[in-house]
């Protein structure tokens, strides 16, 4: 079977151009530039790279952006106070606290302290609750990006069986909820599988759509997928590779060489879901401009 690539890089670039035009229009009409603030604690390499990409993206589409860099030794109380200051700053539209956080800080407590009106990551309990009820809210960026990719490529979802591998609060659970809701994309029958699910291949072999968000490199193999399936790979792991200048290569949760020939559509890694995540954050930030600025 000849598969087609769900190209997140190209799709995000098209959305990026639209967002840049929207920002120009807002400013031309006397409005303020969208303003995103990111709190970065410590010096985790992957987090620093991700935050740098967000800064670059903001510059390219005309956003105001800043990164508040804090030492790994910052206390939970100190971080909560920083969050509170930004919550009350009407010039800031969106606030992200980059995870993972040091072990001495309760990430859930920090997320809950962010104003729901500035929660462009979509992780606040209010955002999660509104999403579950199908109410307007900030959607978590990666699930939002997946839904956008399905919509842009006009992938049929109504009545399809979708299997989600992974039950995290950032990807697995929210994407399962979104795809089960009424609408297009949506109206799926959704099964969530995880590390305690026996015989996962019995579920994946029957799936029309498979979303893999386990963090286990090359987990999904060709013999686990039926012909014509749509496969979306959320995983991204650095694998040591001496042949690369960087010393590593990026590997998704899908064994691409064996899975792709069975698919109708499949995302690559890199260049699939990753770029869609960042563009979704920017879309949330523009939405945040029009929400209440009060805490």
What distance in Å separates the CA atoms of residue 142 and residue 229, rounded to the nearest whole number?
A: 21
**pLDDT of res. 261:** 98
Give the model confidence (pLDDT) of 43-93 as tens digits.
Answer: 887 788 889 989 999 999 999 999 999 999 999 999 999 999 999 999 999
Mean per-residue pLDDT for 13-21?
97
**pLDDT of res. 248:** 85
Nearest CA among 79, 15, 92, 88 for reference residue 42: 79
Based on the fold, state whether residues 80 and 152 are members of the same structural domain.
no
This prediction's pTM: 0.94
**pLDDT of res. 50:** 84
Residue located via tokens 């193999």:
221
**pLDDT of res. 250:** 87
What distance in Å separates the CA atoms of residue 206 and residue 52, rounded to the nearest whole number?
A: 40
**pLDDT of res. 40:** 96
Q: How confident is the model at residue 238 (pLDDT cuts 50, 70, 90)?
A: confident
**pLDDT of res. 293:** 45
Provide the percentage of residues in the chain whose pLDDT is more than 90: 89
Q: Which two tokens stand for residue 122?
A: 């979509």
Question: The domain that contains 101 carries what CATH number?
Answer: 3.40.50.10860
Structural domain count of the chain? 2
- Any domain includes 6: no
Give the model confidence (pLDDT) of 247-286 as tens digits.
Answer: 888 899 999 999 999 999 999 999 999 999 999 999 999 9
Residues serving a catalytic function are 54, 98, 121
Based on the fold, state whether residues 159 and 255 are members of the same structural domain.
yes
- State which of 78, 98, 115 marks the end of a domain: 115
**pLDDT of res. 295:** 37
Based on the fold, state whether residues 36 and 104 are members of the same structural domain.
yes
Say yes or no to pLDDT of 148 above 60: yes
Say yes or no to pLDDT of 294 above 70: no
- Any domain includes 11: no
Mean pLDDT of the chain, nearest integer = 95
- Tell me which of 261 and 236 has the higher pLDDT: 261
Say yes or no to pLDDT of 156 above 60: yes
Mean per-residue pLDDT for 210-229?
97
Say yes or no to pLDDT of 178 above 70: yes
Mean per-residue pLDDT for 178-203?
97
Based on the fold, state whether residues 166 and 78 are members of the same structural domain.
no
Q: Is the dihedral of CA 281, 283, 288, 291 positive or negative?
A: negative
**pLDDT of res. 292:** 56
Residues spanned by the domain of 246: 141-274
What distance in Å separates the CA atoms of residue 221 and residue 259, rounded to the nearest whole number?
A: 6
Based on the fold, state whether residues 237 and 159 are members of the same structural domain.
yes
Based on the fold, state whether residues 108 and 176 are members of the same structural domain.
no
- Any domain includes 12: no
- Any domain includes 121: no
């Amino acid at each position: 079977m000849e598969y087609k690539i769900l190209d997140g890089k190209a799709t995000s670039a098209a959305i990026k151009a639209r967002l840049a035009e929207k920002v120009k229009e807002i400013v031309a009409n006397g409005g303020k530039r969208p303003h995103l603030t990111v709190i970065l604690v410590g010096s985790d390499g992957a987090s620093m790279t991700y935050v740098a990409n967000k800064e670059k993206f903001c510059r390219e589409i005309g956003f105001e952006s800043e990164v508040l860099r804090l030492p790994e030794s910052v206390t939970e109380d100190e971080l909560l106070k920083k969050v509170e200051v930004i919550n009350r700053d009407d010039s800031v539209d969106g606030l992200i606290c980059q995870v993972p956080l040091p072990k001495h800080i309760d990430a859930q407590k920090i997320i809950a302290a962010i104003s729901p009106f500035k929660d462009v990551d979509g992780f606040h309990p209010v955002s999660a609750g509104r999403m579950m009820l199908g109410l307007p809210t900030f959607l978590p960026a990666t699930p939002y990006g997946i839904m956008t990719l399905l919509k842009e490529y006009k992938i049929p979802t109504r009545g399809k069986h979708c299997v989600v591998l992974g039950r995290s609060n950032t990807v697995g659970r929210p994407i399962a909820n979104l795809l089960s809701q009424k609408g297009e994309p949506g109206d799926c029958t959704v099964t969530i599988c995880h590390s305690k699910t026996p015989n996962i291949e019995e579920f994946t072999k029957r799936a029309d759509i498979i979303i893999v968000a386990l963090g286990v490199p090359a987990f999904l193999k060709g013999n686990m997928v039926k012909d014509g399936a749509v496969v979306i790979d959320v995983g991204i792991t650095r694998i040591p590779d001496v042949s690369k200048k960087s010393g590593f290569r990026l590997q998704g949760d899908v064994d691409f060489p064996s899975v792709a020939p069975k698919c109708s559509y499949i995302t690559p890694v890199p260049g699939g879901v990753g770029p869609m995540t960042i563009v979704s954050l920017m879309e949330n930030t523009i939405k945040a401009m029009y929400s209440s600025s009060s805490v």
